[in-house]
Structure 1
């Protein structure tokens, strides 16, 4: 238990460092936000520099190939340049997704603006609630929930087996019981299908399937997963982990490139 407590404390400290630099949120949020804007700008400017500099070379595959490969037989300066140029390109999209979604936690205007663009609440699963059942008056004397039957019904409607199931109990006798199911497959959206049952009759009263939602609603529901990298299961977690390692190396390789250019001047 002590080890678990220390782990939670450590992870909480890391989160505070990541979001506020261990400062008061009033000062930490904008500092991290501005730094994130600079990070996004560096990613976009790096993409521009990655493209061939002369228009006449756009149709030359050999020129493009240099941006996709590392010349391992070159000097250390060339290898360092290719590492920065090539791996930076491969990690670009995840880095941009991390940066553009990370701004949500720094600027209220950005958060509100993205909600308007997507047409739905961000991280809307936080607002999921049980619903009122109209015909509950005749069952007021019954307060026993048949979990086995409800879970079997849920599995028959949502047949994927490798999944996490979360049950939200009714707040009163006239409320439904909500069961959410999220697939744990290697490549599956980290989003829940939501079923609501009448706890007195076990009848299904509402069903919301993630696949049927609009693109904007899907993005809004997955927004935290897009930032941390688990929006499509373990697959995107691994991709994000590798891209984070690359992103950490880019300031080092970029500084070495700058030093070498300064020496030439």
Structure 2
């Protein structure tokens, strides 16, 4: 029976090993994306307060629009931390504003539509640039379009987007095969006797290079198998719509959730200021870590403000406030805990997949496991080549003996 599982393990690994190694490598680089970006560009995110109070948000938005006549502000993000810059997102601002965002199926909350709807890209909504503004002086510190960054390229490789739909399918299928590779690997690891347990749990560092390669593959593969399985399993949500649909089917949940309330009819173009929306959001959630204000796309949509509680389980556990875009009246609120089970489960996939579920410790673990995932196709190939040479030598000796 083990020969059967060994063959399954071998051929699936040969078929998808290179893709798996690339996905693990790029995934490891993305684990600390935010921390690396903040370390590379601290002035973009942090500053020293230079005045007694922040400037009005509308004034900051107007200053941004003054730099580009074609710029259209789609939203902004204000942090409670006074040392953070204000992030203003643009749609259709400049030559980069019209690019399409990367596709990523996800359930996005109230009024979201199907489970496979595209998630909002980093940077400005619709793929436009994001500007980082000093809230005390109104100075524009930096302007970034996510598609032009190093980490977008890494993310594109990670999801297979560099190859278009075919590339995404290849990554998705390889990830699916990886689950079977991990399962068959555990079957092959299982020791035949109790005496062999210790050998399967310990790397013999002073052994020959062949034995060391064997232990690095088998022993470290066992320790990382559960984590790799979880990362691969959650990663399927970004590859297959049927997987996302399955989450809501199994949880008997509606991917759309409750419909967002509509704004009352009013004169065209009459929208409340960012400051009015911010004030209403602070009254509703005075202790929030940040307030992300998203302008409505038409005259009937409500103005939405996403907030994050300081005690939120993950960064995806955000609450949503709905305001009448014409009067600023609070129309409703959808707390993360009020979302249906399917939406809550789907929103935990990203922090689990990236290792952010338990903060820095789980991120470190995710990075280590991803780097080990890069080595397994290599150590496994070395083991296979060793067995192949051994079999050929044995066959050659048998032919000589017969001759």
Q: TM-score, normalised by structure 2?
A: 0.49
Question: Secondary structure at the residue paired with 1:22?
Answer: helix
Of structures 1 and 2, the one with the larger relative CO (CA 8 A, separation 6+) is 2
- CA 1:34–1:66 in 2, change beyond 3 Å: closer, same or farther? same
Asked if the contact 1:170/1:176 (under 8 Å) is kept, the reply is yes
Question: Secondary structure at the residue paired with 2:321?
Answer: strand
Q: 1:99 aligns with which of 195, 215, 232?
A: 232
Unaligned runs of 5+ in 2: 1-140, 392-403
Partner of 1:131: 261
| Aligned counterparts, 1:66-85, within 5 A | 66-85=199-218
1:166 corresponds to 2:302: no
Partner of 2:55: none
In the TM superposition, residue 166 of structure 1 has moved relative to its aligned partner by 1.0
Corresponding pairs, count: 248
Distance 1:259 1:3 in 2: 51
Asked if the contact 2:237/2:244 (under 8 Å) is kept, the reply is yes
Question: Secondary structure at the residue paired with 2:308?
Answer: strand
- CA 1:190–1:104 in 2, change beyond 3 Å: closer, same or farther? closer
- CA 1:184–1:52 in 2, change beyond 3 Å: closer, same or farther? farther
- CA 1:22–1:167 in 2, change beyond 3 Å: closer, same or farther? closer
Question: Secondary structure at the residue paired with 1:53?
Answer: coil
In the TM superposition, residue 130 of structure 1 has moved relative to its aligned partner by 5.0
The structure with the largest helix share of the pair is 1
1:246 corresponds to 2:372: yes
Once structures 1 and 2 are overlaid, which stretch shifts more, 103-112 or 217-226?
103-112
- CA 1:90–1:225 in 2, change beyond 3 Å: closer, same or farther? same
- CA 1:197–1:24 in 2, change beyond 3 Å: closer, same or farther? closer
Deviation string 1:127-186 (CA, Å, 9 cap, x unpaired) is 99852257x88xxx9945524532432443xx35xx333112355777544321235889
In the TM superposition, residue 90 of structure 1 has moved relative to its aligned partner by 2.7
| Aligned counterparts, 1:41-56, within 5 A | 41-54=180-193
Deviation string 1:102-139 (CA, Å, 9 cap, x unpaired) is 334444433433332244467x7xx99852257x88xx
- CA 1:105–1:147 in 2, change beyond 3 Å: closer, same or farther? closer
1:152 corresponds to 2:282: yes
Partner of 1:255: 381
Asked if the contact 1:166/1:180 (under 8 Å) is kept, the reply is yes
Q: 1:220 aligns with which of 328, 342, 346?
A: 346
1:39 corresponds to 2:178: yes
Distance 2:271 2:198 in 1: 71
Distance 2:312 2:198 in 1: 32
| Aligned counterparts, 1:159-198, within 5 A | 159=287, 163-170=289-296, 176-182=302-308, 188-197=314-323
Question: Secondary structure at the residue paired with 2:148?
Answer: helix
In the TM superposition, residue 247 of structure 1 has moved relative to its aligned partner by 0.1
Asked if the contact 2:271/2:325 (under 8 Å) is kept, the reply is no
Asked if the contact 2:230/2:353 (under 8 Å) is kept, the reply is yes
Distance 1:19 1:247 in 2: 16
Distance 1:7 1:184 in 2: 30
Partner of 2:333: 207
Q: TM-score, normalised by structure 1?
A: 0.70
In the TM superposition, residue 15 of structure 1 has moved relative to its aligned partner by 3.8
In the TM superposition, residue 76 of structure 1 has moved relative to its aligned partner by 3.0
Unaligned runs of 5+ in 1: none
Asked if the contact 2:316/2:347 (under 8 Å) is kept, the reply is no
Distance 1:187 1:43 in 2: 29
Distance 2:388 2:183 in 1: 23
